[in-house]
A and B are shown apart, each in its own frame.
Chain A
Amino acid sequence: MATNDPTPTNARPDNARVVKRLLFVVVGMFGFGFALVPLYEVFCDITGFNGRTKNEQAAANTRQVDTSRTINVQFITRVNKGMPWGFSPEVNSVRVHPGETKVVNFLASNPTGQNMVAQAIPSVAPGEAGLYLNKTECFCFNQQPLAAGADTKMPMQFYLDPDIPEHIHTLTLSYTMYDMTANAQPDVLATFEATPSAD
C-alpha cells in the first residue's frame, strides 16, 4: 500500500476488530455444537421426538380409567450387538384401557460364566405416544446385575395417560439391553458379593 495514500475514503479500516468479531462467531458456533446436546435432550423430552420416553418413576396412578378405548401395547426386546444375554417379554402385547395399570414381566438370562451388569434403554413408537406412557416401576430405571448363569424376571408397571391422542391405537415399547459391566455403578456390583450364588 502506498505510504502516502491520497484517498481518505480508503483510510485503513480496522481489520483486528472484524477478525475479533468473526472469531467470536467461530467460538460461539463451536459452543453451539455442544449446546445442541442438551437442547436436543430438552426438545425430545418435550415433544417425545425420536421415541424418547420418560425414563423415571411416574407418580402412582390416580387417573380415571377410560374403558371406552382400548390400546394395544406391543413389546419388543433386543440385545445390543455382542451382548450375550437372553432378553424377552413374557407376553408380546397387552391390550389396556387408558388409565389402567398393568404389569408386564420381562425375562433376562446371563448364559455366560461371568457376573454381568446390563442396562435396558427404552424407545417408543410412534414418538408422540412416548409422552403418555407412564412407568410407575421398571427394571429400566436401574442397572441390572445378573450373576453367571443366572436368570431373572423383571417387572415393569405402567399406565397410559387418558389424554393420549385419539388416533393412537397401537404403541410399541422397545427395549435394547446394553452390556454395562465395564461401567457398572459400585452399588450394583456390590450385589454380587451380597448374594454369593444366585439359584
Chain B
Amino acid sequence: MSTVAGEMDHNDHHHHAPSGFTRWLFTTNHKDIGSMYLWFSFIMFLVGGSMAMVIRAELFQPGLQLVDPHFFNQMTTVHGLIMVFGAVMPAFTGLANWMVPLMIGAPDMALPRMNNWSFWILPFAFAILLASLFMEGGGPAFGWTFYAPLSTTYSSDSTALFVFSVHIMGISSIMGAINVIVTIMNMRAPGMTYMKMPLFVWTWFITAFLLIAVMPVLAGAVTMVLTDKYFGTSFFDAAGGGDPVLFQHIFWFFGHPEVYIMILPSFGIISAIIPAFSRKRLFGYSSMVYATAAIAGLSFIVWAHHMFTTGMPVAAEIFFMYATMLISVPTGVKVFNWVATMWRGSITFETPMLFALAFVILFTIGGFSGLMLAITPVDFQYHDTYFVVAHFHYVLVSGAIFSIMAAAYYWLPKWTGHMYDETLAKWHFWCSLISVNLLFFPMHFAGLAGMPRRIPDYSLQFADINQIVSIGGFAFGLSQLIFLWVVIKCARGGEKAPAKPWEGAEGLEWTVPSPAPYHTFETPPEVK
C-alpha cells in the first residue's frame, strides 16, 4: 500500500514497454492498465449484449420457444450484472486510468501496483460468474438485484460463486476508487487547483467517494445472503426473526448511489466534449462541480423510491418522493449548462459531438421517465413493468454507454496516434441512435399497458410492440460491431493524429504528442 509512483518509475525508466504477455500482466503503467480496462469492458459489453440478444429473441414472439424460463431468468440476471459491473464500471475506470493522470499533469496513478491488482482480479471475478451458468442447477436467476428470499431460499447451489464474484468486483472497484482519490489529491501538477481540474476529473473524484462509501455495503449485503443461504443465519428470513424487506433497504442503500456511479463520469465526459466542439468554454463550471456534489449527496437519501410498493408508511413515501424529485434540480443545472455552452457556439458535428448531443437528449428522456417513476401513486402502476426497463436503459445505454462511446471517439486519436474513420464512425452513430430508440422507446408503452419485466412470456396484445423492440435490439447489437471495427482499424493505422486533433479541445492531455508516450509528465507541467 505504501508503494509510491517514484520507485516504480525508476524501474521503468530503463526498459520501456516490455513486450509480450508479461508486459500486460505485470504492467504498472496507467495507460496500459487503462487500455486493458477498456478492452475488458468492451468484451464484457459484447458478452452481456449477447445475453440481451437471447432475451430479445425469446421475447420476439409470445409463448415459450427458444429457452426455458429458468434459463431466461439467468440471462436477465447475468446480463444486468455483466453490464453494470463488467461493462460500464470498468469502462469508466479505464477512462480514469488513461485520462486522469494526463488531465492533472501526473506521471502515473498514485498507487501503480495496486492499479495492476485492481484490474487483474476482474477477469477472475467474471470467469467465476460466467462459469456458474454451467453449473448444475444453473447460475444466478434472481435478477441483478438478488432480492431475498429469491437469492437465499430459492436460489441454485451456485449462489456462493455469485457472492464471491461480487466480492471480487467490489474489491476491484474499491481499489480503483482509492487510487483515483489519492492520485487526484496528491499528484496534481503545480498550479492545478481543485477548481481548475477538468470536470471529468471532478466527476470521477466524487464518483470515487461514492464507490468507497457504497461498495462495502454491497459486500455486506452479499455476505448476508451467503450466510443466510449456507450458514443458517436469518438476516432476511422472517421465520428466524429476520426481514426480507431489510434486504431491499440494504441493497438500495448501495444501489441508488451505484446508479450515479454509472452516470457522474458521463457528465464529466460530456462536459469535456460539448465545449470542444462548440468552441466555447464550458458554461457554469463551478455550478457543474456543485451540482455533481449535490447529486452525489442526494443519492444517499432516495433509496426507498425503489421500494414504494413494499408497504411503506405514507410519510416515508412522501419523503422519498420529494427527495427523489429534488435530484432533478442539480441534474437540470447540468443539462441547461450544456445547452448554454452550445448556445451561439461554432458547432461542428464530429462523432464524439454526435454521441454527446444524443446523450443530452436521450439521457434527459430517461430523466423524465425517472421523474414519472418518482411519483409514488403512479409508481404503484409502473413498478416492475417494462416502463422501468425503458427508463433505466435510456439512462444507462443512451446515457452512460453513449458517453463512453463519445469518450472513446474523442480520445482515440490520443490513445492510438491515428484518426479513426469518420465515415464508419458516423455509420456507427446513426445505426446506434436509430436502433437504440427503436429498442427502448416502445418499451415505455408496453410498460404503461402493464407488461411485467423479467417474464419470458407475455399476453398476445404485447406481440407487435415486442417484435419492434426485438428488431431494434438486434440492430443495436449488430451496430456495436461497427464500433469494434472502427476501433481496431484506428489502432492499426490511419491518418496521423496531431497532438491536438480537435480545434476547440482544452486540457493538458492535448499538450502531449499523439499517441501519448509511454511516460508523460515526468516533469510536472506548470498550470497557469
A residues lining the B interface (CB < 8 Å):
1-2, 7, 9-10, 12-16, 18-20, 22-23, 25-30, 32-34, 36-37, 40, 44, 47-51, 80, 119, 121, 125-128, 176, 178-180, 183
Main secondary structure of the interface of B (DSSP, over half): helix
A15's contact among B2, B240, B253, by CB below 8 Å, is which? B2
B313 at the interface (CB under 8 A from A): yes
Q: Apart from A36-B250, A47-B313, A126-B313, what are 19 other A-B pairs with CB-CB below 8 Å?
A: A10-B524, A14-B186, A18-B181, A26-B212, A29-B214, A29-B215, A29-B216, A33-B216, A34-B220, A36-B253, A37-B246, A50-B243, A50-B310, A50-B311, A125-B311, A127-B312, A127-B313, A128-B313, A183-B240
The 4 closest A-B pairs by CB, nearest first: A33-B220, A178-B239, A30-B216, A29-B216
**How far is B213's CA from A62's CA once the two chains are assembled, in angstroms?**
49
Is B1 among interface residues, defined by CB-CB distance under 8 A?
yes
Cβ–Cβ contact A32 & B217, under 8 A: yes
23 contacting pairs across A/B (C-beta < 8 A): A10-B190, A13-B186, A15-B111, A16-B1, A16-B2, A18-B185, A19-B1, A23-B1, A26-B215, A30-B216, A30-B217, A32-B216, A33-B221, A33-B253, A34-B224, A36-B249, A36-B250, A37-B246, A49-B312, A50-B311, A119-B239, A179-B239, A180-B239
Residue of B nearest to A55 (CB): B241
Choose among A26, A40, A180 the residue that contacts B174 (Cβ–Cβ < 8 A).
A26
A30–B110 Cα distance when bound, in Å, is: 24
* Contact A1 to B522, CB < 8 A, known contacts A33-B216, A50-B311: yes
Residue B434 is within 8 A (CB to CB) of chain A in the complex: no
Write the B172-189 contact mask toward A (1 if CB under 8 angstroms, else 0): 001001100110011101
Q: Does B493 contact A (CB under 8 A)?
A: no
Residues of B within 8 A of A176 (CB): 238
The residue that A40 contacts in the complex, of B212, B246, B254, with Cβ under 8 A, is B246
- Judged by a CB distance under 8 angstroms, whether B219 is at the interface is yes
Q: Does B4 contact A (CB under 8 A)?
A: yes
Residues on A with C-beta less than 8 A from B6 are 1, 12
In Å, the complex CA distance between A9 and B192 comes to: 11
With a cutoff of 8 Å between Cβ atoms, the chain B residues found around residue A26 in the complex are: 174, 178, 212, 215-216
Contacts of A51 in B (CB 8 A): 311
Q: In whole angstroms, how far apart are the Cα atoms of A158 and B385 in the complex?
A: 41
Nearest A residue (CB) for B9: A1
With an 8 A cutoff between CB atoms, is B245 at the interface?
A: yes
In the bound complex, CA of A18 to CA of B254 (Å): 23
Considering only CB atoms, which chain B residue lies closest to A24 in the complex?
Answer: B212
Q: How far is the CA of A33 from the CA of B9 in the complex (A)?
A: 39
Contact check, A25 vs B522: say whether CB atoms are below 8 A apart.
Answer: no
B239, A33: Cβ atoms closer than 8 Å: no
Instruction: Tell me the bound Cα distance from A147 to B24 in angstroms.
Output: 66
Q: Is the CB of B239 within 8 A of A121?
A: yes
Q: Is B89 an interface residue (CB 8 A)?
A: no
- A9 and B190: CB pair below 8 A? yes
A19 touching B221, Cβ below 8 Å: no
CB under 8 Å from chain A, chain B span 80-128: 107, 110-111
Write the B491-527 contact mask toward A (1 if CB under 8 angstroms, else 0): 0000000000000000000000000000000111000
Q: B177, B218, B246: which contacts A36 (Cβ < 8 A)? A: B246
A110 to B167, CA, bound (A): 42
B523 touches A33 (CB 8 A): no
What is the bound-complex CA distance between A155 and B181, given in angstroms?
61
Residues of B within 8 Å of A178, CB to CB, are: 238-239
| Cα–Cα, bound, A180→B240 (Å) | 9
- Interface flags, B298-322, vs A, CB<8A=1, else 0: 0000000000001111001000000
A19 to B179, CA, bound (A): 8
Query: In the complex, A15 Cα to B181 Cα: how many Å?
Result: 10
Bound complex: CA of A36 vs CA of B317, how far in Å? 20
Q: Is B522 a contact partner of A2 (Cβ separation < 8 A)?
A: yes
- Name the residue on A nearest B253 (C-beta): A36
Chain A residues positioned under 8 Å from B522 (CB to CB): 1-2
Name A32's closest neighbour in chain B (CB-CB): B217
A10 to B6, CA, bound (A): 13
Contact yes or no, B213 A2, CB < 8 A: no
Beta-carbon nearest neighbor of A180 in chain B: B239
What are the residues of chain B within 8 A of A9 when measuring CB–CB? 190
Q: Mark each residue of chain B from 234 to 275: 1 if its CB lies under 8 Å from any CB of chain A, else 0.
A: 010011100101100110011000000000000000000000
In chain A, what residue has the closest Cβ to B242? A37
Nearest Cβ distance between residue A52 and chain B, in whole angstroms?
Answer: 8
Contact across chains for B9 and A121 when beta carbons are under 8 A apart = no
B20 within 8 A of partner (CB): no
Known: A2-B522, A10-B524. A49 touches B313 (CB 8 A): yes
A125 CA / B219 CA spacing, docked (Å): 32
Answer yes or no: B5 CB below 8 A from chain A CBs: yes
Q: Inside 8 A of A37's CB, which chain B residues have their CB? A: 224, 235, 246
Residues of B within 8 A of A179 (CB): 239
Bound form: Cα–Cα A32–B313 in Å: 24
Chain A residues with CB under 8 A of B213? 25, 29
Q: How far apart sit A26 and B215, CA to CA, in the bound complex (Å)?
A: 8
B220 to chain A, nearest CB (A): 3
Which B residues touch A121, using CB under 8 A? Answer: 238-239
Q: For residue A18, which residues in chain B have a CB less than 8 angstroms away from its CB?
A: 181-182, 185-186
Select which of A19, A49, A180 is within 8 A of B111 by beta carbon: A19
User: Which residues does chain A contribute within 8 Å of B249, judged by CB atoms?
Assistant: 36, 40
Which of B4, B220, B238, B253 is within 8 Å of A12, CB to CB?
B4
- B residues 434-457 near A (Cβ < 8 Å) are none
Select one of B5, B181, B214 contacting A1, CB under 8 A: B5
Q: What B residues does A2 contact at CB under 8 A?
A: 522-523
The complex places the Cα of A119 from the Cα of B237 at a distance, in Å, of 12
Residues of chain B within 8 A (CB-CB) of A36 are 217, 246, 249-250, 253
Question: Measured between alpha carbons, how far is A50 from B313 in the docked complex, in Å?
Answer: 8
The residue among B177, B213, B232 with the most chain A CB atoms within 10 A of its own CB is B213
- Expressed in whole angstroms, the minimum distance between the Cβ of A130 and any Cβ of chain B is 11
A50 and B245 in contact, given A16-B1, A32-B217, A33-B220 (Cβ under 8 angstroms): yes
Within 8 Å CB of A183, what residues of B?
A: 232, 240
Report the minimum CB–CB distance from B517 to chain A (whole Å): 15
Residues from chain A with Cβ under 8 Å of B235 in the complex: 37
